Amino acid sequence: MPEKLTFDRQSSVTFQVNAESRTIKGLAVPFGQVGNNGFGRYRFSKGTLDWSRVKYLTDHDWSQAVGNVTFEETDEGLEMTAKIARGARGDGVLVLTEDQVYDGLSIGLSSNARFEEDDEGVFNCLSATVLEVSGTPIPAFGDAQVRSVAASAAHKEENTMDENEKEQNEAPVSFSQEAGDTLMSQVQKLSEELAALKDIKIPVGPGSAQFQVTEEPIYRFAGSEGAPSGFDFAQDLLAAGKDGDGAALDRLKKFTAEHFGPQFSDQHTTTSDTAAVNPSVYRPDMFLGQAPVPASPLYDYFHKGGVDSVTPFFWSKLDRDNTDIGIADHTEDTAQDEKDLVTASGATVTPAAVSGRAFITREVADQGGNPVVSGLVWAEFDRSFRIALETKTAALIAAASVTELGASITAGADGATAGAAVEAGLVGLQFLADGFRFQRAFGHVELYSLLAAAQELVPVIDSSDAVTMVGTGKKLYPILNPRNADGQAASKWSSMDIGGYNMYPAAALGASGTGQKSYVADQAAVHVWNSGLSRLDRLQETVEGWQMAVWGYFAGIVYDVTGLRKVTYDSTP
């Protein structure tokens, strides 16, 4: 079955019922209205839709086809008339429609539908082919409504007719001997052609529907019962030729076109023949984007809110170095010396803009790519924006003059030595007046990898009394069941607990051989803000395609550098 767009949401309205024949009539597509199918807003206009053999379904389910559809295009929209097949399924559809359960109409379009998005985000139809109309309880367009249901009871009451009525209904049509001979000759010729119907092969070609339908022909030429359609070939032939019945002529043309069209024989169909009848098309719905958005441990920890413009603002703080309002012993009848409270320290924060642009080719847009490709590109822009926010947060911290955490680690030190240095520095924080405020650590790839592999070392004395430190294989920060260890690593090494301080791997701090700085931080030490990502479609449209652009704002400040401590480790001895 071909890929298609369907429209089946919103609310419906009332309709009128006229139980005289097995037909459903209504407005399938209102022109000029905006409908929402759950994935976007769409609008259709007169002259943009075409159709051929359209079926009437239930809830866009091709296995629930119950009738044939004809259309009449008016200024209001696409008026539909559905002829419902006889049988239990058709009866059920008529009842549900008449009882206002399935009182909405919804269309299904082929995959070659073309839309153009306007400035309001509405996708206006440029061209599309209607494959089916479905009865639905909730249509996309409020005016896509069933307006009349004609459910004939004639087939249920035929046994109650009196003989006079039957004779009137079955009265033969009289015609001349010459007309009869001509008719019989035509019937004989068509009967011979119809005998070969069992060998018919379904036509296949570009644009043909990629599904199979087993359907009873309009006419039946064997058996004691007539065709389910209620039409007879001979009577239609006579009515068309003698009485000029246009409807009968249309049925005959449709039948002969369907059953005497071009064929593809099995012995001539090979895999090498399929290129012409199965052309390559874009399938943006099957495209895969890049990997998911990576973690942003620095940005997530220091993010303080949003900013909606590029307007600078002043961010002030207390100057701790020059402020002295300490408490001292009180001397009776003596006033304490005045102390200094300095609040002038601070900085002007200027948001910086970030932006991006992508080019979408006309071929992608025209072959089912819009709006699917737009969504794909937007997702990649959003991913890139998140990466940029993490990278800019890391650069803000790296540019600050941060004090080392305890003693420096010797270049090329082993994991046990580096772990001992980090732990000693963390212990030292407890002897600062505000050392408790440091809550989280962020590891550079070199230090984090070293600590993850660190193992307990024991001295080994060789025959010459030389002492060598050898690893026992016992991890210093194991993932499972730590015993006699100062910490442990989380599952998949997603974080590492070192004496109660959680260290998170931060890729934005630099690759191996660059940066080489890890940090312990107070969340209030750094403030970052950002806007949402704004989108501008069709920034510049040409014959070749069109551009999609985005932009946003980022602002940040190291509010209190004393709330940061760095750990420097160089893996190169």
Model confidence pLDDT, tens digit, residues 424-465? 999 999 999 888 999 999 999 999 999 998 888 788 887 787
Torsion over CA of 185, 190, 192 and 196, rounded to 10 degrees?
Answer: 180
pLDDT (tens digit per residue) in 305-355: 888 888 888 877 766 667 777 777 888 887 777 776 666 567 788 898 888
Give the DSSP letter of residue 212: -
> Rounded distance, CA 285 to CA 270, Å?
29
Q: What is the pLDDT of residue 154?
A: 33
Give the amino acid at 251: R
Give the amino acid at 104: G
Q: What is the pLDDT of residue 13?
A: 36
Contact of 303 with 530, CB cutoff 8 Å: yes
> Rounded distance, CA 549 to CA 368, Å?
21
Q: What is the pLDDT of residue 286?
A: 62
Low-confidence ranges of the chain (pLDDT < 70): 1-20, 37-39, 138-216, 221-226, 242, 257-291, 318-321, 340-345, 365-372
Q: What is the pLDDT of residue 18?
A: 44
DSSP one-letter string for 286-326:
G---SSPPPP-HHHHHHEEEE--SS--EEEE---TTT-B--
Q: What is the pLDDT of residue 89?
A: 85
Q: What is the pLDDT of residue 152?
A: 40
Tell me the CB-side half-sphere exposure of residue 249, using CA atoms within 13 A. Answer: 7
Q: What is the pLDDT of residue 301?
A: 94
Contact of 529 with 555, CB cutoff 8 Å: yes
Residues 6+ apart with CB under 8 A from 499: 423, 426, 427, 486, 487
Q: Which CATH number applies to 4-158?
A: 3.20.16
Both tokens of residue 102? 């399935």
pTM: 0.50
Phi, psi torsion values for 44, nearest 5 degrees:
-120, 155
Q: What is the pLDDT of residue 504?
A: 96
Both tokens of residue 420? 């001992």
Phi, psi torsion values for 236, nearest 5 degrees:
-65, -40
Give the DSSP letter of residue 369: I
440-443 and 501-505 as β-strands: parallel, antiparallel, unpaired? parallel
Q: What is the pLDDT of residue 249?
A: 80
Give the C-alpha distances (Å, rounded to integers) separating 71 from 26, 40, 80, 441, 463.
Answer: 10, 26, 5, 68, 100
Domain spans of the chain?
4-158, 178-268, 403-525+561-568
